[in-house]
Structure 1
């Protein structure tokens, strides 16, 4: 059964890739991917408008494949929440997540597992859901109010920091809402992002 699910997910990824190639030329797709990766990605950034339909679906296909590859190399068991996490990444890769902004937050989760001496497979799906905070990276790097070098440094620091705290905070918030929120890590990511964006837009920064 798990093999069927795995191959279905790979087939889904392949279909995203093929659809992207069918809807635009290779040059337009590459230019569109570039536009997507250097956009600020604040809500709501429609990648169809930023880079085109083809580039958007290729972006979604690549991020979905990366998720499946990480599941494969970490030998993470595919579960219901795992499937939801993968489709969450796929869907939001059409507005918000891209090949540039997901990595620092993911690195933070890896650092957390090393500090706690836990397996990355235990928190991989939390990292996928936590990629909801990925646009923060782009917001810092490509911000109009920060020099590029400062933005890159802040994006690394904030990205790793959010990755470090997403797992323990999501555990706490689960106790807080007692399971009534089905998108637990998403709630946690939303609250973290709200605080960070509020600080960015205040007189503190």
Structure 2
């Protein structure tokens, strides 16, 4: 004889036995898609971090070169005025090309640092002027430089104390910290 309760139980078992693998397949598919998305995001983040580290390795020594030249620190005797102007142009090019991979904080501090070290827009087709002393106390670039001083170097300067000020030094350190932070090496 036909028992509706037994039929309902058998039908429920059949439906559950069919729906279970389908549900597992759907859950597995969506979980797999989510894991792929997470893996892709991690890959992108890793590539961006690698590029930022490459940029750090490329621009940090040049930033230090400008800093040393302007403050008579480190290897300033080895850096000619022409070298520092060439370094500025290269830095401007790299920083502006990769601006969107670097933090806004770094970019703003970079611009502040460059404008403390150089007077820009000095005339159509003219190079920036270096805002540092040719001589500062006992240190005289014309005498102590490890290269031959040329008279034309004098015209590359707009002498003042801005580049050797505490503000210049603090801006340099803040900028380097911002560069470090934007590659993920927070304090």
State whether TM-score is above 0.5.
no
TM superposition score normalised by structure 2: 0.24
Higher percent of residues as strand = 2
TM superposition score normalised by structure 1: 0.23
Greater relative contact order (CA < 8 Å, ≥ 6 in sequence): 2
Q: Choose 1 or 2 for highest CA Rg.
A: 2
